[in-house]
């Protein structure tokens, strides 16, 4: 059996790492098992990629497509053209894709048109917001995949509602949490950036086009962030694209001139998780951080109108506030005042999701 595992962007690396390790352990007993790792190169900046491979002990990819950036259509097309050549050369029995980036959808469509079976890890997540490119990628991938591995029962229900045959759905758990639990102690042991003390700062991440590409929205968000920073220092590992927008809109100099908002270069996996672990709260528009903070027990304020991970709001530490600065301020002040609700960790977020996935594929 030959499996071709696809990773395209930073969020994919945390999800693919434990699957690679689970396959490695099985290969010791199954000599005819061939597993290849393909990196599409959708995230091509070394600051955004290389550190993740080192931190997570992911082997260098067997194949790197190096597609780089571009519009959604350009990036998707480049991946499909290059991936088709790989599939025709390697002839895998299964292509395994993770997450919801452009590479996920592009490789799924390409494989299916060549008659290759596809497994999707993190299937069934839905925001019900078609303005999100990731939602389109998720829908296209899930309707084509032969085996759909879900992270929680809500995702199972979404797939069944869309008419996916029950025998295709496997509730496996969350491979990103596999990675978190494996490396959490290493991350916690790393020193914090100078001047920071555990529990004495908030972490900010901001990168979604809907938040950073419009001057009024971004200025409004940072109005709320400044008010929060007046009570607790805010540490901001900034995505290069976000830094470009801050500079374009005249906000970068203002932020750099404020001692209470600390701008950092992008962090690789371990330093970032260490930062989050020791923080008082996280303010974000990201997806995966909503899950990681739920397991870490750190309050998470999500600055988006919706989330594809509602279980983190139902039983976890996530608070969905949209982009209204008043709601952002109110949620943050409530956390700082100790007004947090009880939370729990979702079922099967136990560090063994990758093992369940590999067992199902080999079966």
Domain co-membership, 48 together with 111: yes
Alpha carbon 225 to its chain centroid, in Å, reads: 23
DSSP per position, 104-156 = HHHHHHHHHHTT-EEEEEEET-----TTSHHHHHHHHHHHH-SEEEESSHHHH
pLDDT in tens, 211-239: 999 999 999 999 999 999 999 999 999 98
| Tokens linked to 360 | 């199902």
* 54 and 60 Cβ atoms separated by less than 8 Å: no
Q: What is the pLDDT of residue 125?
A: 98
Position 50 confidence tier, pLDDT thresholds 50, 70, 90:
low
Q: What is the pLDDT of residue 49?
A: 61
pLDDT in tens, 293-327: 999 999 999 999 999 999 999 999 999 999 999 99
CB neighbours (10 Å) of residue 258? 16
The answer as to whether 180 is a domain residue is no
| Tokens linked to 88 | 């025709």
Alpha carbon 210 to its chain centroid, in Å, reads: 17
Position 11 confidence tier, pLDDT thresholds 50, 70, 90:
confident
The answer as to whether 344 is a domain residue is no
In terms of residue numbers, what domain contains 60? 2-174+349-362
Place of tokens 């900034």: 238
Q: What are phi and psi of 116, to 5 degrees?
A: -100, 135
Distance CA 78, CA 80 (A): 5
Domain co-membership, 128 together with 155: yes
Instruction: Pick the more confident residue, 126 or 13.
Output: 126
The answer as to whether 179 is a domain residue is no
Distance CA 234, CA 222 (A): 11
CATH number at residue 265: 3.40.50.2000
The answer as to whether 92 is a domain residue is yes
Specify the 3-state DSSP secondary structure of 70. coil
Position 93 confidence tier, pLDDT thresholds 50, 70, 90:
very high
Residue 262 in this model has a pLDDT that exceeds 70: yes
Residue 45 in this model has a pLDDT that exceeds 70: no
Domain co-membership, 139 together with 228: no
- Name the residues annotated as catalytic: 207
- How many structural domains compose the chain? 2
* 162 and 142 Cβ atoms separated by less than 8 Å: yes
| Tokens linked to 189 | 């042991």
Q: What is the arithmetic mean of pLDDT over 247-268?
A: 91
The answer as to whether 169 is a domain residue is yes
The answer as to whether 341 is a domain residue is no
Instruction: Pick the more confident residue, 55 or 78.
Output: 78
The answer as to whether 181 is a domain residue is no
Q: What percent of the chain has pLDDT over 90?
A: 86
| Tokens linked to 185 | 């102690």
Domain co-membership, 356 together with 323: no
Angle at 174 between CA 104 and CA 331, to 5 degrees: 100
Domain co-membership, 218 together with 315: yes
Distance CA 242, CA 207 (A): 6
Domain co-membership, 96 together with 206: no
Q: What is the pLDDT of residue 258?
A: 84
**Going along 205-272, which residue ranges are E strands?**
234-237, 261-264
* 97 and 6 Cβ atoms separated by less than 8 Å: yes
Domain co-membership, 167 together with 197: no
Domain co-membership, 245 together with 139: no
Q: What is the arithmetic mean of pLDDT over 103-132?
A: 97
Residue ranges of the alpha helices (H) in 190-233? 209-212, 215-229
Domain co-membership, 29 together with 165: yes
Q: How confident is the prediction for the chain on average, in pLDDT?
A: 94
Residue 44 in this model has a pLDDT that exceeds 60: no
Q: What is the pLDDT of residue 47?
A: 57
First to last CA, the chain: 11
Backbone torsion region of residue 164, taken as left when φ is above 0, otherwise alpha when ψ lies between -120 and 50, otherwise beta: beta
β-partners of residue 37 are 5
Residue 8 in this model has a pLDDT that exceeds 70: yes
Domain co-membership, 217 together with 327: yes
Q: What is the pLDDT of residue 57?
A: 83
* 354 and 151 Cβ atoms separated by less than 8 Å: no
**Sign of torsion over alpha carbons 166, 2, 116, 131:** positive
Taking each helix axis as running N to C, give the angle between helix 102-113 and helix 72-90, from 0 to 180 degrees, rounded to the nearest 10. Answer: 40
| Tokens linked to 11 | 């969020």
| Tokens linked to 28 | 């010791």
Residue 48 in this model has a pLDDT that exceeds 70: no
Residue 54 in this model has a pLDDT that exceeds 90: no
Place of tokens 């923080």: 279
Domain co-membership, 357 together with 211: no
pLDDT in tens, 14-35: 999 999 999 999 988 888 899 9
The answer as to whether 129 is a domain residue is yes
Q: What is the pLDDT of residue 97?
A: 98
Domain co-membership, 223 together with 271: yes
């Amino acid at each position: 059996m030959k499996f071709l595992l696809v990773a395209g962007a930073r969020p994919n690396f945390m999800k693919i790492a434990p699957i690679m390790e689970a396959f490695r352990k099985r290969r010791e007993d199954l000599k005819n098992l061939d597993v290849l790792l393909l990196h599409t190169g959708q995230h091509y900046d070394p600051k955004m990629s290389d550190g993740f491979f080192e931190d997570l002990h992911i082997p260098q990819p067997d194949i790197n497509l190096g597609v780089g950036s571009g519009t959604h259509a350009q990036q998707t097309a480049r991946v499909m053209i290059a991936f088709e050549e790989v599939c025709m050369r390697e002839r895998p029995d299964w292509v395994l894709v993770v997450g919801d980036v452009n590479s996920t959808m592009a490789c799924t469509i390409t494989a299916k048109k060549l008659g290759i079976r596809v497994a999707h890890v993190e299937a069934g997540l839905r925001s019900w917001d078609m303005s999100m490119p990731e939602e389109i990628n998720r829908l296209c991938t899930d309707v084509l995949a032969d085996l759909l591995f879900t992270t929680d029962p809500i995702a199972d229900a979404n797939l069944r509602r869309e008419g996916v045959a029950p025998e295709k759905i496997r509730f496996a758990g969350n491979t990103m949490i596999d990675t978190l639990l494996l490396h959490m102690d290493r991350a916690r042991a790393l020193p914090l950036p100078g001047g920071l003390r555990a529990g004495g700062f908030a972490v900010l991440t901001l990168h979604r086009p809907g938040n950073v590409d419009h001057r009024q929205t971004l200025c409004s968000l940072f109005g709320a962030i400044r008010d929060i920073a007046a009570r607790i220092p805010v540490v901001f590992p900034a995505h290069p694209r976000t830094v470009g927008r801050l500079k374009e809109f005249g906000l970068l100099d203002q932020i750099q001139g404020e001692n209470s908002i600390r701008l950092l270069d992008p962090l690789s996996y371990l330093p970032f998780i260490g930062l989050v672990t020791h923080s008082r709260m996280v303010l974000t528009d990201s997806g995966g951080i909503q899950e990681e903070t739920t397991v870490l027990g750190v309050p998470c304020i999500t600055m988006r109108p919706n989330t594809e991970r509602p279980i983190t709001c139902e039983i976890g530490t996530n608070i969905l506030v949209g982009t209204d600065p008043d709601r952002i301020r109110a949620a943050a002040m409530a956390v700082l005042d100790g007004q947090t609700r009880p939370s729990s960790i979702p079922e099967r977020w136990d560090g063994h999701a990758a093992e369940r996935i590999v067992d199902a594929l080999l079966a």
